[in-house]
Amino acid sequence: MSRSASLLAILIIFIATPLAVQAQNRATHGGLIRNDVANRVGLERSWFTRVQLDSSRSRVVHVTQHVSSTDAFATWEISHDRGKSIFTERDLDDYGEQLGKEKAKKLADQRFESLERANLNPKMEARMIPEITIYAMTDGGVVHAIDAQTGRTRWYNRVGNPNYPSEAPGANDQYVSVVNGSTIYTLKQENGEIAWTRQVRGAPGAGPVVTDRLVFVPMADGKIEAYELDDYRKPPWVYQSHGRAVVQPIWTGYSVAWPTDKGHLYVAEGNIASIQFRLEANNSIVAQAAKLAPSRIVVASTDGYVYCIHEKSGNLLWRFSTGEPIIRAPVVVGDSVFVVTDENNIFLLSAANGLDEWTTSGVSAVLSVSQTRLYCRGHVGRMIILDRASGSKLASLATESLDIQFLNILTDRVIIGTSQGVIQCLHEIQNHWPVIHAPASEMATKKATPKPGADPAATPDVPAADPNPFGDPFGMGTPATEPAGGTTSDDPFGDPF
């Protein structure tokens, strides 16, 4: 009887395994989540693209993102009884050239007037959308800059030696810095040209963070070397910390913070070559800290504790124990702090006092946060969608074959793909424009009075925001101008790379 039961169990597994694979293949095609599958859970794919690499020899190893504090583009959205019409200054004319603000505004006005004549009750809303760039880094040394709104390639460039390890990029509004081997390569953000290179003194332990005027590079021996962006030949500032610095620092707009494997979090003012203070945890810290506005930093350690400190005084404001090791960075959005433990449990903590608001199991990482939802990776790689207010499970998507699942804390977009180079962007169907959680400056989405001819830069209604929130929190050549794939095809290799 036992032998028969065993044979039956083996037969069930034998039949179920290919069925599960078939189900996964039906949900994804060529590294893409099918649009009809995404629509069932309230999502749609806004774009997909392919990173410039030789898929037989190279892989995507890092993805970061930067929200510009200085560059934005104008948009006009007209809602009416039959739908919506959207015009942007980056739309292309019949000759493949961008319209620019004046032409786009003129077309929007003309459309508004025609809809008025047709009695379709048009309403116009003008916005300024900050430029958002995704940087993909391959193990072959290629940096690929992608427009986060359209998926179009801004530029790509190969740096350094493809046989040397490359760390995650860091960026500000003007520069992108990459460490390849023991050399810093600093590229111009606008076109990817190399602005300067510099050999570091030590052995890099992680990717750099770029502030307004400095590039901070963590070293495996615990030192942090800081090089001036506009005068890189100067001797670097050197900060000494205890333990190995193998996690990319963060820039809060005022301070640079980095952890070490000795359980210390060091905080230094970005414009003074000295450490302000350090936090000592009971065990090692193996993940980045996070900026919590105003003027707070949150960090978690493998002892299971989450610490919130004032970034200028170093005072401990609150502490919470999950009772389980934590190896991932806290995710801060607004007044919410999400913490994922090594036991695949996620906690929502109040930013004000660190109190536990809810806990849910079966989550290994956070991917993105919208106004009402939390997008996570399950412990087997499946995307899990949670209700942000209660933590209850709403839906899931078969994404087990997609090994690039990027943590996006700057916007509500879900960036997901494969290490072979297929990257796609999903968003909630109703959110055509990105929701900026941590706008880098007053260039956050701005709304103007809804009337024809409105200039989005003239009468902004700017939501309150921390003026210098994250910089690059993951610290996120030959030009290529081909457009990325759209939603009309499920073939990621159909774009002209």
For residue range 201-213, list pLDDT tens digits in order. 989 999 999 999 9
Read off the pLDDT band of 108 (50, 70, 90).
very high
Task: Read off the amino acid at residue 497.
Answer: F
**For 259-274, how does the pLDDT look when each residue is reduced to its tens digit (9 = 90+)?**
999 999 999 988 777 8
- Residue 82: phi and psi, rounded to 5, are -110, 5
Q: What is the average pLDDT across 176-182? A: 97
List the structure tokens of 306: 């989450």
Is the C-alpha dihedral spanning 45, 49, 55, 59 positive or negative?
negative
Q: Which residue has the higher pLDDT, 463 or 33?
A: 33
Return the pLDDT at 316: 97
**For 392-414, how does the pLDDT look when each residue is reduced to its tens digit (9 = 90+)?**
999 999 999 999 999 999 999 99
- Stated pTM of the model: 0.83
Q: Of 462, 460, 464, give the one whose Cα is nearest residue 126.
A: 460
Task: Look at residue 330 and give its three-state secondary structure.
Answer: coil
Task: Look at residue 12 and give its three-state secondary structure.
Answer: helix
The vertex-121 CA angle with 119 and 124, nearest 5°, equals: 130
Chain mean pLDDT for the chain:
85
Give the residue carrying structure tokens 């210390």.
264
The β-bridge relationship of strands 345-350 and 356-361 is antiparallel
pLDDT at residue 45 above 80? yes
Return the pLDDT at 271: 77
Read off the pLDDT band of 27 (50, 70, 90).
low
Helix and strand counts by DSSP (H, E) for the chain: 3, 36
Phi-psi region of 141 (alpha: psi -120 to 50; beta: other; left: phi over 0): left
Task: Look at residue 131 and give its three-state secondary structure.
Answer: strand
Share of residues in the chain with pLDDT > 90 (%): 75
Phi-psi region of 343 (alpha: psi -120 to 50; beta: other; left: phi over 0): alpha
Return the pLDDT at 7: 52
Phi-psi region of 92 (alpha: psi -120 to 50; beta: other; left: phi over 0): beta
**For 145-174, how does the pLDDT look when each residue is reduced to its tens digit (9 = 90+)?**
999 999 999 999 999 999 999 999 999 999
Return the pLDDT at 96: 86
List the structure tokens of 104: 């786009």
List the structure tokens of 125: 């809303």
Environment class of 324 (CB within 10 Å of its CB; exposed 0-12, middle 13-18, buried 19+): middle
CA-CA distance, 168 to 218, in Å (whole number)? 12
DSSP secondary structure letter of residue 240: E
Read off the pLDDT band of 3 (50, 70, 90).
low
Return the pLDDT at 57: 87
Q: Which residue has the higher pLDDT, 348 or 13?
A: 348
- Total residues belonging to the chain: 497
CA-CA distance, 348 to 365, in Å (whole number)? 13
Residue 84: C-alpha distances to residues 120, 149, 196, 400 (Å): 11, 18, 46, 35
Q: Of 484, 351, 352, 368, give the one whose Cα is nearest residue 426.
A: 368
